[in-house]
Amino acid sequence: MIKPELKDFLQSEETKIIKGNEAAAYAAKSARVQVISAYPITPQTTVVEKLSEFVDGGLMPGTQYIKVESEHSVLASLVGASMAGTRTFTATSGQGLFYMYEMVHWTAGVRLPIIMAIASRGPAPPWNIWADFTDVISCRDTGWMSSFCATHQEIYDEILMSYKVCEDHEVLLPKFVAYGGFILSHTSKPVIIEDQDKVDNFLPPLPDEKGWPHIWIDPERPLMHGNLIMPSGFYSEFRMKIHDALIKSKAKIKAVAKDFEKTFGRSYGNGLIEEYKMADADVAILNYGDLALQMEEAVDQVREEGYKVGMVKLRHFRPFPVEDVIEVAKKVKILGVMDRATAFGSPTGGPISSEVKTALHGIKGTAMILPMMNGLGGREVSLEQQKEQLKILMNIKETGELPEDLLHGTLWHGKLEVN
Amino acid sequence: MASLKKVMEDEIACKEWFLPGNACCTGCGLEIALRWAMKALGPEIAMVTPASCLNVVIGLWPKTAPDFPQFNMAFAAGAAVASGFEAAFKAKAHKFPGKVWDRMTSICFAGDGGTTDIGIQGLSGAAERNSDIIYVCYDNEAYMNTGIQRSSSTPHGAITTTTTFGKDRYKKNLPAIMRAHDIPYVATCSISEPLDIYEKFKKAKSIRGTKYIHILAPCAPGWGFPSEDTIEIARMAVKTGFWILYEIENGVLTLSKKSKSLLDPSKRVPIIEYVATQKRFAGISEKTLIELQEQIDRDWENISKEIFCQEEYSK
């Protein structure tokens, strides 16, 4: 039986009960992307299926969809299309992203605002197709921006915001919009698909005939790109500019998040991070992706037991919100940094916890950091486990003692017994 | 074949689109291939160049020899980038109708390594989609830009820096592979026949779908011959029948003028005369030489059979 109020909800024109992958496809449609290129990979497949439906069904007039033979060609073709001055989109997962890697660097090198949805999955071997953000995080040093989504709605919203940030002439960088494979990609939730006029007004106009300000294809203004450059040439300076643009994009992300909230009424913290019950928290966990959403519930339940716990949701990995992380680390005594990704051999084993430690280095009055790991390769992380994670931090605060079973200083939570 | 007089009437063909002062070696075969291709194509193009000599000879940043839109690219990415150009031009033609966008030709100009080895997957994909591009392989029969390492396009017996005693395997027949993709146009050219290059590119430009043109472009330092002999070496390759000039339009093979007479085996110059002009074949064994000649004869036999069948069928 469908409740009457839910019935109205289902019938409203702009709200659809869709999978996370479909939300990504709807975002591409709302953004009026002009060229799509894609290659199927689990768990991204329903993105490309939905887009096929849109393009073949005439719902995206003028949009070209290149169904290529590999992920390397996905990004190569989009580099070509974007250089010619079009808005482009693609999606992939795990191994697919690894296969693109050469072109990932190339895209940022040309400063092309290509948006790529990532239904994240664990790297093989052994084969794994479930949520794990090692894929997107492996592209840390490529010059791409990257963000994590916690909800179906956020996938749609974040892709729209990303076009606005990335096409800003002071940014002009590509971006990954990542979400957990299967957990978000294949589950269905209500998603508001915004009115097209409203989206058109929110987004920058599609590139005009001349293309981007820094690269174009035009017989009347013949340009070449990518010549060999000697060490004495501007190579180092081009690299410097990418770093500079990434750091400066933090301000753009914040401004666009504000603008988005004003236009559509949905808020994502300051765009870089979101805080949950941090005002009076003694301990907190910094989390990202869908687990951050469930942790809000865990925080509520642990608070009912009398513990002052909080949560910080990291939205952007690149650019890394150093200033915001310092601020939240000043608010609590102990900050657990939870990773659903690996950075083998790094200071903590987890990419985000290593990053947080770097950001806090030399800053006085910040929390003690406990690097934590959970949910690798899609391993379920239950609400009870998340409550336990918070209580572990409370226990450290109260007893001053670290858990016994740390692996090189990091807590691998929810692991099986290994003989 | 187009006469030089006719070509000279073409204003676009009279202009040099690949400018002098570039960084080509003296006697570079690639330069001739590119210059003549561009005379036929004109400036309303976008060219992608995956890693190859061409990335370097166009000039070190910020110097640029091409007077047309040209984009250097990662090795395996050539055909896919050209497909991306095509898609973008279609999207732009939709948004800005009646402008240059529906006249634009998307071109990939790649070396033999970028085509027959690392780029073959992307090329096969583009051809299977019948992407509206011209894919050009300028074939100098090894990785010349990185220092003369063997590619799958290196001929049997040739010494490279990775085939110390000559290559044991044979040259990969890429035009045949491209033909198997059932694309509308496949052609071979030699830089010794610039008017043939001009004509084939003119034709390719007028055809929709994937066009594949494979140009033999001798490399003086890589093959070991005096730089003033480039054209003569390319001509010899054709005369021996080692490099066969033809075009395949919608599956139908036609021999081009300079190769037509070689259907008669007695008209073919023996391969030893070609081999003797180049240091890369120094010390070639008699066995290898015989194998090379046998390969040529076998290729010609297949072509003869095909042409015989065509003629019989049309009777």
| CATH 3.40.50.920 domain span(s) along chain A | 273-412
Answer yes or no: are the C-beta atoms of A357 and A367 closer than 8 Å.
no
- Identify all chain B residues contacting A80, using CB atoms and an 8 Å cutoff: 46, 48, 71, 80-85, 87-88, 106
Classify burial at A48, counting beta carbons within 10 Å of its beta carbon; exposed 0-12, middle 13-18, buried 19 or more: buried
Pick the CATH number of B4-314 from 3.90.700.10, 3.30.43.10, 3.30.1130.10, 3.40.50.970: 3.40.50.970
Please give the share of chain B, as a percent, with pLDDT higher than 70: 100
Q: Which of B44, B87, B104 sits opposite A77 (nearest CB)?
A: B87
- Identify all chain A residues contacting B125, using CB atoms and an 8 Å cutoff: 68-70, 73
Q: Which of A77, A218, A226 sits opposite B83 (nearest CB)?
A: A77
For the range B301-308, what are the long-range contacts, defined as Cβ-Cβ under 8 Å and sequence gap of 24 or more? B303/B244, B303/B246, B303/B253, B303/B255, B303/B263, B304/B263, B306/B253, B307/B253, B307/B255, B307/B263
Decide if pLDDT at A3 tops 70. no
What CA–CA distance (Å, rounded) separates A264 from A191? 13
- pLDDT tens sequence across B5-42: 989 999 999 999 999 989 999 999 999 999 999 999 99
Q: Which of A64, A102, A224 sits opposite B91 (nearest CB)?
A: A64
Q: Which of A35, A77, A209 sits opposite B80 (nearest CB)?
A: A77
Here the tokens at position A366 are: 């910040």
Average pLDDT of the segment spanning A154-178: 98
Decide if pLDDT at B109 tops 80. yes
- pLDDT tens sequence across A137-148: 999 999 999 999
Average pLDDT of the segment spanning A284-303: 97
Per-chain mean pLDDT for chain A = 96
The minimum CA-CA distance between A104 and chain B, rounded to whole Å, is 11
- Identify all chain A residues contacting B82, using CB atoms and an 8 Å cutoff: 80
Is the pTM of the predicted complex or chain greater than 0.90? Answer: yes
Closest residue, chain A, to B124 (C-alpha): A69
- Identify all chain B residues contacting A228, using CB atoms and an 8 Å cutoff: 55-56, 60-61, 72
- At A10 the pLDDT is 47
| Contact check, Cβ <8 Å, B73/A69 | no
| Contact check, Cβ <8 Å, A86/B92 | yes
- Identify all chain A residues contacting B77, using CB atoms and an 8 Å cutoff: 72-73, 76, 79, 102-103, 106
- Identify all chain A residues contacting B60, using CB atoms and an 8 Å cutoff: 227-230, 233
Average pLDDT of the segment spanning A59-65: 97
| Contact check, Cβ <8 Å, B76/A102 | yes
* Interacting residues of A205 by C-beta distance below 8 A, sequence separation 6+: none
Decide if pLDDT at A192 tops 50. yes
- At A11 the pLDDT is 45
Q: DSSP string spanning B55-94?
A: HHHT-STT---BSS-EEEE-GGGHHHHHHHHHHHHHHHHH
CA distances (Å), origin B172, targets A226, B136, B152, B167, B248:
30, 16, 6, 12, 18
| Contact check, Cβ <8 Å, B46/A217 | yes
**DSSP at A169:** T
Please give the share of chain A, as a percent, with pLDDT higher than 90: 96
For the range B282-285, what are the long-range contacts, defined as Cβ-Cβ under 8 Å and sequence gap of 24 or more? B282/B159, B282/B224, B283/B159, B283/B165, B283/B166, B284/B157, B284/B166, B285/B157, B285/B166
- Identify all chain A residues contacting B110, using CB atoms and an 8 Å cutoff: none
Average pLDDT of the segment spanning B233-255: 98
| End-to-end alpha carbon distance in chain B | 26
Q: Which of B68, B80, B92 sits opposite A76 (nearest CB)?
A: B80
The minimum CA-CA distance between A383 and chain B, rounded to whole Å, is 45
What CA–CA distance (Å, rounded) separates B242 from B253? 17
The minimum CA-CA distance between A85 and chain B, rounded to whole Å, is 7
Report the candidate in A33, A39, A85 with the shortest Cα–Cα distance to residue A63: A33
The minimum CA-CA distance between B253 and chain A, rounded to whole Å, is 28
| Contact check, Cβ <8 Å, B73/A106 | yes
What CATH code is assigned to A273-412?
3.40.50.920
The minimum CA-CA distance between A71 and chain B, rounded to whole Å, is 10
The minimum CA-CA distance between A223 and chain B, rounded to whole Å, is 5
- Identify all chain A residues contacting B48, using CB atoms and an 8 Å cutoff: 80
Decide if pLDDT at B179 tops 80. yes
Here the tokens at position B202 are: 């003119």
What CA–CA distance (Å, rounded) separates A281 from A294? 18
Closest residue, chain A, to B78 (C-alpha): A76
- pLDDT tens sequence across A176-190: 999 999 999 999 999
CA distances (Å), origin A272, targets A68, A143, B262:
34, 17, 71
Residue A71 three-state SS: helix
Give the domain ranges of chain B: 4-314
| Contact check, Cβ <8 Å, B60/A218 | no
Decide if pLDDT at A290 tops 60. yes
Superfamily of domain A7-264: Thiamin diphosphate (ThDP)-binding fold, Pyr/PP domains (3.40.50.970)
Per-chain mean pLDDT for chain B = 96
Backbone angles phi, psi at B160, to 5 degrees: -130, 180
- At B2 the pLDDT is 74
Task: Please give the helix or strand (H or E) that residue A356 lies within, else none.
Answer: helix A351-360
**DSSP at A406:** -
| CATH 3.40.50.970 domain span(s) along chain A | 7-264
Average pLDDT of the segment spanning A13-38: 95
Residue A341: pLDDT band (50, 70, 90) is very high
Q: DSSP string spanning chain B?
A: ---HHHHHT-HHHHS-SB-SS--PPTT-HHHHHHHHHHHHH-SSEEEEEESSHHHHHT-STT---BSS-EEEE-GGGHHHHHHHHHHHHHHHHHHSTTSGGGG-EEEEEEEHIIIIITTHHHHHHHHHTT-SEEEEEEE-SSBTTTTSB--TTSPTT--BTTBTT--SSPPP-HHHHHHTTT-SEEEEEETT-HHHHHHHHHHHHHS-S-EEEEEE---HHHHT--GGGHHHHHHHHHHTTSS--EEEETTEEEE-HHHHGGGSGGGSPPHHHHHTT-GGGTT--HHHHHHHHHHHHHHHHHHHHHHHHHHHHH-
Average pLDDT of the segment spanning B188-208: 98
Adjacent-strand bridge partners of A168 = none
- pLDDT tens sequence across A241-277: 999 999 999 999 999 999 999 999 999 999 999 999 9
CB pairs under 8 A between A and B: 175
Cα A158 to its chain centre, rounded Å, is 8
Q: Which of A76, A106, A223 sits opposite B122 (nearest CB)?
A: A76
- At B201 the pLDDT is 98
- Identify all chain A residues contacting B55, using CB atoms and an 8 Å cutoff: 226-228
| Contact check, Cβ <8 Å, B71/A226 | yes
Residue A274 three-state SS: strand
- Identify all chain A residues contacting B46, using CB atoms and an 8 Å cutoff: 80, 84, 217
The minimum CA-CA distance between A195 and chain B, rounded to whole Å, is 21
Closest residue, chain A, to B96 (C-alpha): A209
Decide if pLDDT at B215 tops 60. yes
What CA–CA distance (Å, rounded) separates B21 from A72? 34
- pLDDT tens sequence across B32-78: 999 999 999 999 999 999 999 999 999 888 889 999 999 999 999 99
Average pLDDT of the segment spanning A235-242: 97
Average pLDDT of the segment spanning B181-201: 98
